[in-house]
Amino acid sequence: MIAETFKVLIVEDDPYDADLLLRELKKSHFNFTSKIVETKESFENALENFLPDIILSDYSLPKFDGVSAFIIKQVSWPDIPFIIVSGTIGEERSIELIKNGVTDYALKDKLFSLSPKIHRALKDAEEKKEKRNTDEELKAQYEKLLEIAFMQSHQVRVPIANILGLFELFEFDNPSAAINATVLYKLKLVAESLDQTIHEITQNTSDIRKMIKAAK
C-alpha cells in the first residue's frame, strides 16, 4: 500500500520547470512534500537527510546530470524509484536508461503522463519492500528450523542410544535378575524424556508453520 504522504526529491535547475512538476503533482491530488536540488552535493545531502520516497530528475543540468544522480542513488538507495523528466532526451536513450535500472521517464511537454508513472513506481517499490521483508522473515524461520532440527535431532539420538544400551544390559534369559529392575526404571525415565522431546518438536513445528503461514 502506497504511503498517504510521500517525499519527492526533484533534481532540476530551472525554477519554471520545477514549478511545472510541482503543479502537475498537485493537480494529480498527490499528498507529498518536496525538495529541489541542482548540484551533486545538495543531491547527496538530500538522500541522507530528506530521505525521499521517489526521485524526479532532469537529464541534463549545468553542474550535474540525471545519469550521475542515478548512479549515486544506486550505491546506497537502490530501491528508491528514479524517473527521468526531460525535454531533450530521445526515446532510444530513454529505453537504454530503463534497461540499466532507471524506473521510467517522462517528457516535459507531456507531463500528463507523469502521474500514473509515479503511482506505478511507488506501488512497485512498496511491493518489492514487502516481498523483501517476507523473504527475510522466511529465511529467518528456515534458519530457526535448521537450528531446531539440529538440536532436537541430538536430543532424539541420545535417548534412543540410551534405550539400545539399556536393552543390551537387560538379562532376557533371567527375568528375575536384579539388574533388570534398574534397567526397566531407567528405560521408563528415558522414555519419558523422549516423549517430552517429541512433544517439543511437534510444538515447534506447529509454531513455525503458523509463522510461515502468517508471512505469506
pLDDT of residue 120: 94
Do 6-132 and 135-215 show the same overall fold?
A: no
Q: In this structure, are residues 9 and 35 in contact, taking their beta carbons and an 8 Å threshold?
A: yes
Q: Compute how many other C-beta atoms are within 10 angstroms of the C-beta atom of residue 84.
A: 25
Could you tell me the fold of the domain covering 6-132?
Rossmann fold (3.40.50)
Give pLDDT tens digits along the chain (216 positions). Answer: 455 789 999 999 999 999 999 999 999 889 999 999 999 999 999 999 999 999 999 998 888 999 999 999 999 999 999 999 988 777 788 889 999 999 999 999 899 999 999 999 999 999 988 888 887 877 777 777 677 666 666 667 777 777 777 777 877 888 788 788 887 888 888 878 877 777 777 777 676 666 666 655
Q: What local confidence, expressed as pLDDT, does residue 88 receive?
A: 76
Maximum C-alpha span of the chain = 104
pLDDT value, residue 208:
66
- Percentage of the chain lying above the pLDDT 90 cut: 44
Q: What are 108-113's contacts with CB under 8 Å, separation 24+?
A: 108/17, 108/20, 111/20, 111/21, 111/24, 111/85, 112/24
Q: Which residues contact 121 (CB under 8 A, 6 or more apart)?
A: 54, 81, 83, 103, 104
pLDDT given at position 36:
97
Phi and psi at 90, nearest 5°, equal: -90, 165
What's the pTM? 0.66
Packed helices 15-27 and 114-169: angle between N→C axes, nearest 10 degrees:
70
Among the listed residues 86, 88, 85, 84, the one whose alpha carbon sits nearest the alpha carbon of residue 71: 84
Each domain of the chain, given as residue ranges in start order, spans 6-132, 135-215
CB 15 within 8 A of CB 59: no
**Coil, strand, or helix at residue 176?**
coil
The CATH number assigned to the domain with range 135-215 reads 1.10.287
Contact between 37 and 10 (Cβ < 8 Å) = yes
- The three grid cell numbers given for residue 112, joined into one nine-digit string: 500528463
Could you tell me how far CA 168 lies from the centroid of its own chain? 54
